[in-house]
C-alpha cells in the first residue's frame, strides 16, 4: 500500500450536489440504489470520474438514465466522457451480515447500523468518499416491518408507510449539506426515551435516545447529558441546535466510542447506558463527556468539516477541547474543575507523550498516512485539544469565543483546514500574542514530539531579583530530525518560603501584579527576571499545565513539599506530589543493593501524604489523585531503558508501603467517606466514593501483607469487610471498588466474589466487560494473569468479535497491565501476536489498535526487547496482513 501525502491534496474533479439513496434492507443482501447529480469542477483539469468502492457487488450504472460503459480499476469505478452536469444512478448490493469490520453497513443484535467515518461510505455505495465533497441527502429505507419497526436516517422524517409483503418504508431528508462520512442509517427493534426542549430563541426540538427494549431505564443520564450539552453550547459559544430532531442510537458492536453523524449520532452502548446498579462514577462522567463531544461536533465537524483527513484535528482537537470545557463548567466549583484538568493531563502524559516519543509519532496535523484509521490518535485528539487550549490561553476566554464566531462566519457549510481555524482565532484577536506569533504558533500543528522546557532559578539577595533561565528543545521524531522553537504559554507564580503567593514584577515593569501570570516563551533560550523579591522563592511553573511539554526543573524535595502543601494552583500542587513519588520510584528502580522498592518511601514523603489525606479543606477527589502513585507506564516513560518487572515490583512495594504506613489514616478515610448518601454521580459524592475505594484497597493490601499492622489482627478484618461491602453495595462504584480491592490485594475472598459478581450480572454485557477487565488487569503474582486470561478466552461469555469484549480482556491485559504482560518468558508477547493476527482476520481497525501495545519495544531491557521484536516480526511476516496492522508494525520495526 502506498502512503497518502498531505502535500498531494487536490480539489475533486467533480462535485456531487444531491444524493438520493434507496435501501432495501436485508442482512444477507441489501440493495442500494444511489441516484446522484454531479457536475464537473471547472477549477480542475478535465479527467475521468473515479468513485471509491469496497466489497460491493455492482449491478448497474446509468448516466442520465442510459446504460454507459465503465471500468473497475482496483477498488474504483471509473467513468469517462461524461457531460459537465449529469444524473448518475448506481445500483449495488452488499452483505451487512458478513460485515465483520463494522465499517459501512453492518448488523448487530439483529439491527442495522452504519459507520462511515473515515472511509466506510464506500462500503455502502460507489462515491467520492472524501470529506470535501458535500451534498444534500434524501434517504428511503425499506425493510420488514416486524423485524425492523424503527427506520432512521439523518435529518427529518418526511414520509413513512406500509409496503407489500409486511414491509414498510421511511423517507428522511437532511436539510444540511454534508460529507458522506456523516451519513447514517439505523433499522431495528428499538425504543426511545424522548424529550422536547426549547432553545433560547423559543424553537422546539425533539431529543431521542434509542436503545434495545429493556435498556430504557439506563438512558436518563445520557438524555440529561444531551440536554446539558445543548444548553451549554448555546450559552458559552452561541451555537444553537440546528435540527428539529436530534437522535442518539446505542449499539453494542462499535469500533470506537461514538460517531457524530448529522442528527443521528451512533454510540457504543458503553457511552449511553447507565444506572447506579450497573455503571460506575467513571462511566457516568465518560457518558457526559462523550455525549457532549458528539453533540458539539454538530457545529465543529458537521457544520464546518475537514478539507481532507490530514485536517482531522480541526474537528477532533477542537471538539475534545470543547468537551473538556463542558465537563469542567458542569463540575462547577474551582476544585472540581481542577480535578478534571488533572485527569485530562494525566491521560495526555500517559498515552500521548509515549506516542509522541515512539514509532507512530506524528504531528497534530499529520503529513502522510497509509491507513487513516490509524490516525484517530491521542495526538490528533488530546494533543490537538491542548493546542486549541493554548490558543484560548493566548487570547483569553472571551477572545476565543469571538474567534469561534468568526470561524463560523467565514466557513459555515465548508470543508476547511487547521490553518483556517487558527487564522480565524487570531484575526478575531488582533494584537494578541496569538495574532503576533501565528506562524510560529502553528508549529504545534506541524512538528511532532513533546517539547522539553528546561528552567533553572537563581536568586540574587542583594539585587532582590529572581531569575528564571528557560530553554526549550524537542527530540527528533520519525522524518523530523531538527525542530524549531515553539510558542509556549507558561503559567508562573512564585511562593514565599512560607507558601504565600508573591506579587510578580518583571524587570522593566512599573509595578508588581498580584497572583500568577502567563508568560509566553518563544525562543530557544530566554531569561526572565523578577524584581523586588525579598527572599529566595519557590517557583510554581507551568501552572494549570498551560502547554503540552515536559517541564524540567531541578526542584529540591523541600521545594516540592512546599508546593504540595501550599501552591494555590491545584495542578502544580498535585504535580509536586507526583514528582516526589516519581523521583523515589526512579531511585529505587536504579538501586541494585536492595530488593526493588524495599525502602522506596521515606518519612518526609509519607508524612506529606498523610497531611494531604487528613487535610480538612481539600476535596476527596483531589486527595485521591494526589495519593495515586504515577502509573507504571508513566514511570517507564521517564527511563531510557525499561525493565517492566522492576518498575512493577517497585511500584507495588511503594503501594504496599503507603498502605501500611498510613493504615490508621486509610481506616479513618474509609469510615468518614464510605457513605455518600443517596447515589448521585456528582463530583463531590463521586470523589468521596473514589477516596473510600482507595482506602479500602489499601486496607486490604495491609491485611494481605506482612508488617506490624497486618499481624496485629486488626487489619485482617478488612478483606471480610470488603467482601461484605461487595455484597451490600447500593451502587456499582462501591461494589466494583470492593471487588477490585479483593482482587488487587490477591485475597482468597476474590475467588468467591468473582463468580458471585458474574452470576449477578450475567445478562449485562457492559458489566461483564468490567468483570473480564478486572481479571485481565489484576496485579501479576508469579505469572498468574496470562493463564487466567487464556482461560477467560474460553469462557462462554467471551468473544473476540465484539470490540468491547475484546478490549475488556485482551487490551486490558496487553495494554494496561505492564507487570502481567512483559514476561521474561515472552509468553505475553506470543499471546499478543496471536491475538493481533486473529483480530486482523476480521476487524483490522481493532487489530491495529492492539498492535500499538508494543510501540515502545525499543526502550525495553533484555530479554524483553529481543522477545518483543521477535513477536512484531512474526506479525509483520503474515502474508495477508491488513494495511492497518502493516502500517503499525512496519513503523515499529523501521
Ligand atoms: N469522529 C468519530 C470517529 C469514529 C471513527 C473513526 C474510525 C472508525 C470508527 C469510528 N467511530 C467513530 C468519533 C469522534 O471523535 O467523535
Ligand atoms: Zn470527535
Q: Tell me whether residue 712 is in a domain.
A: no
Max CA distance (Å), the chain: 95
Helix (H) or strand (E) holding 85: strand 85-94
> Does residue 836 share a domain with residue 802?
yes
* Pairwise CA distance, residues 374 & 846, whole Å: 10
Q: Tell me whether residue 783 is in a domain.
A: yes
Q: Atom 2, ligand 1: which residue's CA is nearest? A: 259
Q: What distance in angstroms lies between residue 308's CA and the mean position of ligand 2's atoms?
A: 15
* Ligand 1 atom having least distance to the Cα of 316: 15
Q: Which ligand is nearest to the CA of 321?
A: 2
- Top mutation candidate among 114, 179, 258 for ligand 1, by most atoms within 8 Å of CB: 258
Q: What distance in angstroms lies between residue 78's CA and the mean position of ligand 1's atoms?
A: 29
Among 232, 265, 296, give the residue marking a domain's end.
Answer: 296
Is 276 within 8 Å of 213 (Cβ atoms)? no
* Ligand 1 atom having least distance to the Cα of 260: 16
Tell which residue, 125, 126, 31, has the closest CA to residue 76: 126
pLDDT by 10-residue block (mean), the chain, 894 residues: 96 98 98 98 97 98 98 98 98 98 98 99 99 98 98 98 98 98 99 96 96 98 98 98 98 98 99 98 98 99 98 99 98 95 98 98 98 98 99 98 98 98 99 98 98 98 98 96 97 95 96 92 98 97 98 98 98 98 96 72 97 98 98 98 96 96 98 91 97 98 74 81 97 98 97 98 98 98 96 98 98 98 98 98 98 98 98 97 98 98
CATH code where residue 773 lies:
1.25.50.10
| Set of cell numbers at residue 804 | 468491547
Q: Atom 10, ligand 1: which residue's CA is nearest? A: 256
| Set of cell numbers at residue 192 | 426511545
> Does residue 457 share a domain with residue 440?
no
> Does residue 234 share a domain with residue 98?
yes
> Does residue 496 share a domain with residue 394?
no
Phi, psi torsion values for 383, nearest 5 degrees: -70, -35
Query: Rounded to whole angstroms, what are the CA distances from 158 to 36, 152, 689, 821, 865?
Result: 19, 11, 48, 54, 61
CB atoms within 10 A of CB 63: 19
Q: Tell me whether residue 549 is in a domain.
A: yes
> Does residue 848 share a domain with residue 823?
yes
Is 142 within 8 Å of 167 (Cβ atoms)? yes
> Does residue 188 share a domain with residue 115?
yes
Q: What distance in angstroms lies between residue 315's CA and the mean position of ligand 2's atoms?
A: 7
Q: Tell me whether residue 747 is in a domain.
A: no
Q: Tell me whether residue 665 is in a domain.
A: no
Among 400, 425, 446, give the residue marking a domain's end.
Answer: 446
> Does residue 832 share a domain with residue 787?
yes
What is the model's pLDDT at position 345?
98
Q: Is 862 a catalytic residue?
A: no
Q: Tell me whether residue 4 is in a domain.
A: no
Q: Atom 15, ligand 1: which residue's CA is nearest? A: 316
CATH code where residue 172 lies:
3.30.2010.30
**Residues in contact with ligand 1 (CB, 6 Å cut-off):** 115, 117-118, 255-256, 258-260, 293-294, 297, 316, 373, 376, 845
ipTM comes to 0.98
CATH code where residue 371 lies:
1.10.390.10
| Set of cell numbers at residue 682 | 456528582
Q: Atom 13, ligand 1: which residue's CA is nearest? A: 259
Q: Which ligand is nearest to the CA of 300?
A: 2
What is the model's pLDDT at position 704?
86
What is the model's pLDDT at position 891?
98
Q: What distance in angstroms lies between residue 334's CA and the mean position of ligand 2's atoms?
A: 26
Q: What distance in angstroms lies between residue 265's CA and the mean position of ligand 2's atoms?
A: 11
Q: Atom 11, ligand 1: which residue's CA is nearest? A: 256
Q: Tell me whether residue 619 is in a domain.
A: no
> Does residue 504 share a domain with residue 370?
no
| Set of cell numbers at residue 483 | 525542530
> Does residue 349 share a domain with residue 234?
no
Q: Tell me whether residue 457 is in a domain.
A: yes
Number of domains forming the structure of the chain: 4
What is the model's pLDDT at position 594?
64
* Pairwise CA distance, residues 353 & 383, whole Å: 9
Tell which residue, 226, 237, 346, 354, has the closest CA to residue 295: 226
Catalytic site residue from 119, 294, 355, 632: 294
What is the model's pLDDT at position 593?
67
> Does residue 124 share a domain with residue 244?
yes
- Top mutation candidate among 259, 287, 318 for ligand 1, by most atoms within 8 Å of CB: 259
* Pairwise CA distance, residues 384 & 379, whole Å: 6
> Does residue 322 share a domain with residue 432?
yes
Q: What distance in angstroms lies between residue 602's CA and the mean position of ligand 1's atoms?
A: 46
Q: Which domain covers residue 426, as residue numbers? A: 306-446
Full-model pTM:
0.98
> Does residue 882 share a domain with residue 826?
yes
- Give residue for cell 425493510: 143
CATH code where residue 501 lies:
2.60.40.1840
Q: Atom 6, ligand 1: which residue's CA is nearest? A: 117
Among 296, 324, 357, give the residue marking a domain's end.
Answer: 296
State whether residue 470 is helix, strand or coil.
strand
Q: Where are the beta strands (DSSP E) in 181-239?
A: 185-188, 191-198, 204-211
Amino acid at each position: 500500500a502506498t502512503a497518502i501525502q498531505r502535500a498531494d491534496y487536490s480539489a475533486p474533479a467533480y462535485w456531487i450536489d444531491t444524493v438520493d439513496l434507496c435501501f432495501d434492507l436485508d442482512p444477507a443482501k441489501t440493495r442500494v440504489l444511489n441516484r446522484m447529480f454531479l457536475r464537473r469542477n471547472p477549477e480542475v483539469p478535465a479527467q475521468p470520474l473515479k468513485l471509491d468502492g469496497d466489497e460491493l457487488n455492482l449491478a448497474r450504472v446509468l448516466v442520465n438514465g442510459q446504460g454507459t460503459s465503465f471500468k473497475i480499476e482496483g477498488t474504483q469505478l471509473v467513468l469517462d466522457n461524461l457531460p459537465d452536469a449529469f444524473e448518475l444512478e448506481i445500483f449495488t448490493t452488499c452483505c451487512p451480515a458478513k460485515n465483520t469490520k463494522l465499517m459501512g453497513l453492518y448488523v448487530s443484535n439483529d439491527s442495522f447500523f452504519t459507520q462511515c467515518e473515515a472511509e466506510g461510505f464506500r462500503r455502502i455505495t460507489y462515491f467520492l468518499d472524501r470529506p470535501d465533497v458535500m451534498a444534500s441527502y434524501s434517504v428511503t429505507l425499506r425493510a420488514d416491518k416486524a423485524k425492523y419497526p424503527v427506520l432512521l436516517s439523518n435529518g427529518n422524517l418526511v414520509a413513512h408507510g406500509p409496503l407489500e409483503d409486511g414491509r414498510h418504508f421511511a423517507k428522511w431528508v437532511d436539510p444540511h449539506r454534508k460529507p458522506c462520512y456523516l451519513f447514517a442509517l439505523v433499522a431495528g427493534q428499538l425504543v426511545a426515551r424522548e424529550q422536547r426542549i426549547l432553545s433560547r430563541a423559543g424553537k422546539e426540538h425533539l431529543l431521542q435516545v434509542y436503545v434495545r427494549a429493556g435498556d430504557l431505564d439506563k438512558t436518563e443520564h445520557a438524555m440529561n447529558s444531551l440536554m446539558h450539552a445543548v444548553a451549554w453550547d448555546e450559552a458559552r459559544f452561541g451555537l444553537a441546535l440546528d435540527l428539529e430532531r436530534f437522535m442518539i442510537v446505542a449499539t453494542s458492536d462499535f469500533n470506537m466510542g461514538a460517531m457524530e453523524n448529522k442528527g443521528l449520532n451512533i454510540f457504543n452502548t458503553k457511552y449511553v447506558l447507565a444506572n447506579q446498579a450497573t455503571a460506575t462514577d467513571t462511566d457516568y462522567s465518560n457518558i457526559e463527556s462523550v455525549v457532549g463531544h458528539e453533540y458539539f461536533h454538530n457545529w465543529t465537524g458537521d457544520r464546518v468539516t475537514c478539507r481532507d483527513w490530514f485536517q482531522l484535528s480541526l474537528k477532533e482537537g477542537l471538539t475534545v477541547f470543547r468537551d473538556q470545557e463542558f465537563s469542567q463548567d458542569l463540575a462547577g466549583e474551582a476544585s472540581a474543575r481542577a480535578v478534571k484538568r488533572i485527569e485530562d493531563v494525566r491521560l495526555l502524559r500517559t498515552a500521548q507523550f509515549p506516542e509522541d516519543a515512539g514509532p507512530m509519532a506524528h504531528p497534530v496535523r499529520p503529513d502522510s498516512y497509509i491507513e487513516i484509521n490509524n490516525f484517530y490518535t491521542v495526538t490528533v485528539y488530546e494533543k490537538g485539544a491542548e493546542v486549541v487550549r493554548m490558543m484560548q490561553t493566548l487570547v483569553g476566554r472571551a477572545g476565543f469565543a469571538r474567534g469561534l464566531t468568526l470561524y463560523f462566519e467565514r466557513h459555515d457549510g465548508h470543508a476547511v483546514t487547521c490553518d483556517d481555524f487558527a487564522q480565524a482565532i487570531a484575526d478575531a484577536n488582533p494584537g494578541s500574542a496569538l495574532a503576533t506569533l501565528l506562524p510560529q504558533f502553528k508549529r504545534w500543528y506541524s512538528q511532532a514530539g513533546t517539547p522539553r522546557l528546561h528552567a533553572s532559578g537563581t536568586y540574587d539577595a542583594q539585587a532582590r531579583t529572581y531569575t528564571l533561565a528557560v530553554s526549550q528543545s524537542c527530540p527528533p521524531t520519525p522524518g523530523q530530525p531538527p525542530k524549531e522553537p515553539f510558542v509556549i504559554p507558561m503559567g508562573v507564580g512564585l511562593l514565599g518560603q512560607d507558601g504565600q503567593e508573591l506579587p510578580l514584577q518583571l524587570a522593566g515593569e512599573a509595578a508588581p501584579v498580584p497572583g500568577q501570570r502567563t508568560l509566553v516563551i518563544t525562543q530557544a533560550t530566554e531569561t526572565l527576571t523578577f524584581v523586588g523579591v525579598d527572599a529566595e522563592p519557590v517557583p510554581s511553573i507551568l501552572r494549570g499545565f498551560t502547554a503540552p511539554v515536559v517541564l524540567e526543573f531541578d526542584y529540591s524535595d523541600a521545594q516540592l513539599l512546599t508546593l504540595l502543601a501550599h501552591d494555590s494552583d491545584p495542578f502544580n500542587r498535585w504535580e509536586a506530589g507526583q514528582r516526589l513519588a516519581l523521583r523515589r520510584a526512579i531511585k529505587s528502580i536504579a538501586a541494585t543493593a536492595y530488593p526493588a522498592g524495599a525502602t522506596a518511601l521515606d518519612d518526609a514523603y509519607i508524612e506529606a501524604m498523610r497531611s494531604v489525606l487528613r487535610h480538612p479543606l481539600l476535596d476527596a477527589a483531589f486527595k485521591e489523585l494526589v495519593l495515586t502513585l504515577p502509573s507504571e507506564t508513566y514511570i517507564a516513560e521517564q527511563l531510557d531503558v525499561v525493565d517492566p518487572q522492576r518498575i512493577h515490583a517497585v511500584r507495588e512495594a511503594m503501594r504496599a508501603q503507603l498502605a501500611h504506613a498510613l493504615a490508621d489514616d486509610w481506616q479513618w478515610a474509609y469510615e468518614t467517606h464510605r457513605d455518600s448518601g443517596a447515589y448521585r454521580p456528582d463530583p463531590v459524592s463521586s470523589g468521596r466514593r473514589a477516596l473510600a475505594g482507595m482506602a479500602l484497597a489499601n486496607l486490604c493490601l495491609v491485611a494481605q501483607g506482612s508488617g506490624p499492622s497486618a499481624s496485629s489482627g486488626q487489619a485482617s478484618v478488612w478483606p471480610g469487610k470488603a467482601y461484605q461491602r461487595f455484597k451490600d453495595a447500593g451502587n456499582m462504584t462501591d461494589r466494583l471498588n470492593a471487588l477490585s480491592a479483593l482482587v488487587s490485594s490477591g485475597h482468597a475472598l476474590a475467588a468467591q466474589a468473582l463468580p458471585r459478581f458474574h452470576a449477578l450480572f450475567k445478562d449485562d454485557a457492559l458489566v461483564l466487560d468490567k468483570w473480564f477487565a478486572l481479571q485481565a488487569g489484576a496485579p501479576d503474582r508469579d505469572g498468574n494473569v496470562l493463564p487466567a486470561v487464556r482461560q477467560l478466552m474460553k469462557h462462554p461469555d467471551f468473544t473476540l468479535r465484539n470490540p468491547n469484549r475484546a478490549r475488556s480482556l485482551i487490551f486490558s491485559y496487553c495494554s494496561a497491565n505492564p507487570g502481567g504482560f512483559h514476561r521474561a518468558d515472552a509468553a505475553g508477547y506470543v499471546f499478543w501476536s496471536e491475538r493481533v493476527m486473529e483480530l486482523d482476520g476480521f476487524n483490522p481497525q481493532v487489530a491495529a489498535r492492539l498492535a500499538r501495545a508494543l510501540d515502545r519495544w525499543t526502550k525495553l531491557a533484555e530479554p524483553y526487547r529481543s522477545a518483543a521484536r521477535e513477536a512484531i516480526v512474526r506479525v509483520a511476516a503474515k502474508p495477508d496482513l491488513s494495511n492497518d496492522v502493516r502500517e503499525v508494525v512496519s513503523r515499529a520495526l523501521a
